[in-house]
A and B are shown apart, each in its own frame.
Chain A
Amino acid sequence: MKAALCLALLAGLLAGCAPLTERVILLPGAAGSSTGALSVKAARGEILLAEAYAQADVIGGEPVRLTSSAQAVQAAYGGLLAMRPPAPQRFVVNFELGGDKLTPDSEPVLDRLRAALAAIPGADLVVIGHTDRVGSVEANDRLSQQRAQTVRERLVAAGAAPERISVAGRGEREPAVATDDEVPEPRNRRVEIKLR
């Protein structure tokens, strides 16, 4: 029976009765990001998936184009998708002119960050300090590092694992708002924190 079925299929399909070895499904991008695209290459061909729920089944070394759906993905892979780590969260705190003293407005941001940190087992943090353009480039490199260290200390006090915090200072090189040199700009006196 099986052989007969195979022969029948062979008559119509070049792929024959080779097993399905891989299935690849392109998912829609997260809110605000595009779906993008994905190439699937195997021994006997390559296809490009470019729409949400486009599917490629690799059968006997040949990628075959199919279409999946939100429902089919949920049914087959809902458990997998439920185990995804949370998307990184971003926080920004600001500093008073010329030093590493946080602005009063930044304390509630740190409170929110502490709460978010407590909810993530195995959290890691990326802390990056910045300055405005008042002062020399060299002094701002040091100041940005100092600001990042200040935030790092606050995070360690809040329970973050010290070895899971990476700290960098970018000086005045990456302003949030472009300004001329020597212009004080509160929005650029900042530390950006990524919580993962």
Chain B
Amino acid sequence: MKLRPLLLAALFALLTSGTAAAADTAGIVKRLHGTVTLQRGGQPLPLAPGTAVQVGDRLVTGPDGAVGLTMADDTLLTAGPGSTLVISEFRFNSTTNEGNLLATLLKGTLNVVTGLIAKQTPQAVNVQTRNAVMGVRGTDFIVDARGDAP
């Protein structure tokens, strides 16, 4: 009785999705400059090109730092110096291109080049700062979060 759904699930996974190892990977670090730290569950983790980034991860760049990520749906997220970026939400189905992305820029600068999720469902891609929410209708943009004033 239990075997059948399992088998179907395995077959479905085989046919439609990527490797199991990639399941938690929201994006991958592609470019690094200067001081950049990755914080996961409050712990700092080493960072190099190729490092996988997960939902909940916080990237902090120093005064000389910058980091460029390619998300699983081809969205490019690039944070400039003095930035704190949190990958708050990310889901992506590579078969249907459905999913959602919420990036939180607590401070600093962020460039977003939207990918497959925004092409499929533009309103599913959002960037929030302390005082504003940017709702994508499909495209390339910069957000510069300067102050903490509410």
Q: Are A77 and B80 in contact (CB under 8 A)?
A: yes
Give the interface SS of chain A, mostly helix, strand, loop or mixed: mixed
Q: Are B15 and A126 in contact (CB under 8 A)?
A: no
Q: Are B142 and A41 in contact (CB under 8 A)?
A: no
Q: Are A41 and B140 in contact (CB under 8 A)?
A: no
Our pick among B19, B76, B133, B145 for the contact of A84 (Cβ within 8 Å) is B76
Scoring A19, A80, A81, A126 by chain B CB atoms within 10 A of each residue's CB, the highest score goes to A80
**How far, in angstroms, from A88 to B50 measured CA to CA in the complex?**
15
Given contacts A20-B146, A22-B131, A196-B70, contact A81 B141 (CB under 8 A): no
Q: Residue-by-residue, is A77-94 near B (CB-CB < 8 Å gives 1, otherwise 0)?
A: 101110111111000000
Shortest distance from the beta carbon of A96 to any chain B beta carbon, whole Å = 23
Q: Give the number of residues in B that approach A within 8 Å (Cβ atoms).
A: 57
Shortest distance from the beta carbon of B87 to any chain A beta carbon, whole Å = 15
Q: Are B78 and A81 in contact (CB under 8 A)?
A: yes
Q: Are B14 and A25 in contact (CB under 8 A)?
A: no
Q: Which of A141-166 contact B (CB under 8 A)?
A: 141, 145, 161, 163-166
**How far, in angstroms, from A61 to B138 measured CA to CA in the complex?**
24
B interface list, Cβ under 8 A from A: 14-19, 21-22, 28-31, 33, 48-51, 66-70, 74, 76, 78-81, 94-95, 109, 111, 113-114, 122, 129-150
